[in-house]
Structure 1
Amino acid sequence: MHAILSLGATHYDLTIPSNSRYKAMAISHRGKALKHLSLALEDIDNCSATSLDGVLATCYALVFQAYYMNDGVMDFAVMTSEQVMQMVEPWLPKTAHPNQDDVNLCIRDIEQLRPFIQDESALSFFQSLINTYFALQHSVHAAFICLSGVYGIWNSMENQNFMNLISSTNIVCRALFLHYFAIDTLMRPFLLHVRGRKHPSISFGGIVMGQWADAAYCGLPASIQNLVKHEVELVRREKAKISLI
């Protein structure tokens, strides 16, 4: 129900943009829907057929809503490290990422953001991202393990700290999220290889990720944009490739 209410509020926010109360309602109901979805996923093995239908409907509603949000909330934060690894561990290659040039450029760029970090939450986020890049130099399997630590960091944050992290006014964290999108893009070919290049959820997810990256990048001052230009181009190239599939 919260997912439907959140989707409806987003619709009204888009059609009646002068009425800001709908945006607040959308975020409020979205948060409640994500919380209940997280609880359902933790007990997914014991769900009835009816409950599974509800989980699927909730996911569809939230995905469609995220597509129309300018800054999609990081819904992956509802997942724990254990849930992530259960889904991907069996097929993760234990070899270095084949595109080391992009990995090395991303490491160079994220290091340039280090001096701008001023709080512990952003520092933890930064450290998980750079550790994932370093892992990609040796093993994609290890990189997924490092990246799952990001979800753990998000889950352990107080609500206000998390809201500050994803705030549109938090310039440094917006830049860090662009690195998160870049890492997702670097990982995506392996997911496509296993699940099939025309798997709809993977293709749709890549398009949405590209939309979020463009929105985050446009909200940055020019001085910071120059530090994450490579990461944005990386995500845009993947979005363009998906559009041709």
Structure 2
Amino acid sequence: MTCSPGFSGNENALCHERRPRKGHKKSRQGCLECKRRKIKCQEKRPRCDNCVRLSLRCRYLPEAAAIATPLPAHRISPLHIANVFSLTDMRLFHHFLVAAFPHFPVRPDNIWLSYITPIGHQCEYLMHAMLALSASHLRKISPTPSCLSGPAQTHRLAAMKGLNEALSRPVSSSEEADAAIGACYALLMQSWYMDDGLQASLVLTRSCEWTTKWVRNQNVRSVLAEGDDHTKLGIMRGRCKDAPKFDVGFSEKAVTSVLALESLCIEEVQVQVFAGLKMTFELLHVSPIAAYDACMKMDSVIIQLSHPAFLQLLETSNGASQLLLAHLVALQLLMRPISCRERKHYTVTMYGIRMSTWIPGIYNSISDDLKYLMEWPMWISRLHAEGGLERWSLAAS
């Protein structure tokens, strides 16, 4: 399998030979406390001897996350041996655990903290993807953001190079499968916090889906590949029971704005995206879960586009395509009160710092004769930046 556009292989590779380990061999199925302390676990349940002796809480990974098959030596190198991470990276790793870890795929548990992050200790490109996400997230909320631009870019390029290499060969274990899918999701979420991340986010939305299907086709058990859109919708239905509804008048304004683009949509891809946006905006005020379901279908439209059609949509010189993308970004911004519930312990603030420069970027790039069609998306972008979008978009309680 080859990676989709957006993953380039021209970065310098970080290659490290695996050297023999000293001392005893740690257990791959031991409890989390023994893994944290890097000692051999007796694997006794419900509590191992080490935890009993030290009066510690003994916890094991879920059964689906217990990996019994050791990885080939040339595939993964322990990061403490590779010695490629700095003190700044330790700060980024802490921030990742506290605030920046992904919530995709949507699940009823925090699988990233309990399972994926430990894999990152053994998989260099996954760790790079995690640190890249953390750097871009922290950059958005830091008083000195410029100092994090370099680490964000460096880790992103290293993650992409490693991911490309991983996708060029079949996976042989659950760890390898989940590392590949996890890296895609981390890079996708990082793109949300990048000023120029619009195209990358669309590329990675497709890549996450394709990588998941690629893993399933190899019949390798993967925690991140479990479930589908129906499962995701079921989880979100429970979380949206008390979610706010969109105002009918606001929904009508959104429909009016996208309808103004209909005469410009000549190419087939533009017609498809236009139809998807129109349907989604029409369903916004029906119910929170109907709005979320419509957004999922909008994502499916992007994912299912042929490669040539997708490139047409990304064409920066095509005014109609850029206008459609501006409305697509506006949709993502106004969905914040519902989309934030994709996290198990959600916070609206985290969604308030993403995609903040994308619509103005499109406005500045299109020709002057089309700028009037950007009035509604630019209004949404301003409200988003000012923190007042919900006041205009949501129905009175």
Q: TM-score range by the shorter chain?
A: 0.5 to 0.7
Which of these residues, 52, 56, 75, is aligned with residue 182 of structure 2?
Answer: 56
Instruction: Quote the residue 1:77 is aligned against.
Output: 206
Separation of aligned partners in 2, 1:123 and 1:62:
26
Separation of aligned partners in 2, 1:71 and 1:212:
6
Q: Could you report, residue by residue, the CA deviation over 1:131-170 in whole angstroms, capped at 9, with x for unpaired residues? A: 0111113223223323322333223322111101111112
Instruction: Quote the residue 1:134 is aligned against.
Output: 282
C-alpha contact 1:210 1:235 (8 A) present in aligned 2: yes
Separation of aligned partners in 2, 1:199 and 1:50:
33
- CA separation of 1:85/1:221 partners in 2, compared to 1, >3 Å: closer, same or farther? farther
Which of these residues, 213, 229, 232, is aligned with residue 375 of structure 2?
Answer: 229
CA-CA distance at 1:177 after TM superposition: 1.2
Which of these residues, 293, 296, 320, is aligned with residue 148 of structure 1?
Answer: 296
1:169 aligns with 2:317: yes
Separation of aligned partners in 1, 2:228 and 2:382:
28
Q: Could you report, residue by residue, the CA deviation over 1:74-115 in whole angstroms, capped at 9, with x for unpaired residues? A: 1323456x8445334433448983333322111111111111
- CA separation of 1:8/1:173 partners in 2, compared to 1, >3 Å: closer, same or farther? same
- CA separation of 1:157/1:53 partners in 2, compared to 1, >3 Å: closer, same or farther? closer
1:111 aligns with 2:256: no
Matched ranges for 1:28-43 at <5 A: none
Q: Secondary structure at the match of 1:161?
A: helix
- Choose between structure 1 and 2 for higher RCO, CA contacts under 8 A separated by at least 6 residues: 1
C-alpha contact 1:125 1:153 (8 A) present in aligned 2: yes
C-alpha contact 2:269 2:313 (8 A) present in aligned 1: yes
C-alpha contact 1:77 1:154 (8 A) present in aligned 2: yes
Which of these residues, 206, 212, 222, is aligned with residue 358 of structure 2?
Answer: 212
C-alpha contact 1:96 1:136 (8 A) present in aligned 2: no
- CA separation of 1:61/1:149 partners in 2, compared to 1, >3 Å: closer, same or farther? closer
Separation of aligned partners in 2, 1:166 and 1:121:
11
C-alpha contact 2:292 2:338 (8 A) present in aligned 1: no
Instruction: Quote the residue 2:308 is aligned against.
Output: 160
- CA separation of 1:190/1:59 partners in 2, compared to 1, >3 Å: closer, same or farther? closer
- The number of equivalent residue pairs is 211
Separation of aligned partners in 2, 1:104 and 1:136:
9
Separation of aligned partners in 1, 2:175 and 2:231:
22
C-alpha contact 1:132 1:143 (8 A) present in aligned 2: yes
Separation of aligned partners in 2, 1:218 and 1:6:
31
CA-CA distance at 1:129 after TM superposition: 0.5
- Structure 1 residue ranges without an equivalent (≥5): 10-25, 41-45
Instruction: Quote the residue 1:15 is aligned against.
Output: none
Which of these residues, 231, 236, 249, is aligned with residue 86 of structure 1?
Answer: 231
Separation of aligned partners in 2, 1:76 and 1:121:
17
Aligned partner letter, 2:306:
E
- CA separation of 1:167/1:199 partners in 2, compared to 1, >3 Å: closer, same or farther? same
Which of these residues, 295, 301, 326, is aligned with residue 178 of structure 1?
Answer: 326
Separation of aligned partners in 2, 1:5 and 1:120:
28
Compare the two structures and name the one with the higher helix fraction.
Answer: 1
CA RMSD of aligned residues (A): 3.9
Query: Where does structure 1 differ by over 6 angstroms across 4 or more consecutive aligned residues?
Result: none
Separation of aligned partners in 2, 1:4 and 1:154:
18
Q: Secondary structure at the match of 2:316?
A: coil
- CA separation of 1:102/1:165 partners in 2, compared to 1, >3 Å: closer, same or farther? same
CA-CA distance at 1:227 after TM superposition: 1.6
Q: Give aligned-pair identity as a percent.
A: 15
Aligned partner letter, 2:196:
M
Aligned partner letter, 1:210:
S
- Structure 2 residue ranges without an equivalent (≥5): 13-156, 210-226, 389-397
C-alpha contact 1:135 1:143 (8 A) present in aligned 2: yes
TM-score by length of 2: 0.44
Aligned partner letter, 1:216:
I
CA-CA distance at 1:117 after TM superposition: 0.9
TM-score by length of 1: 0.68
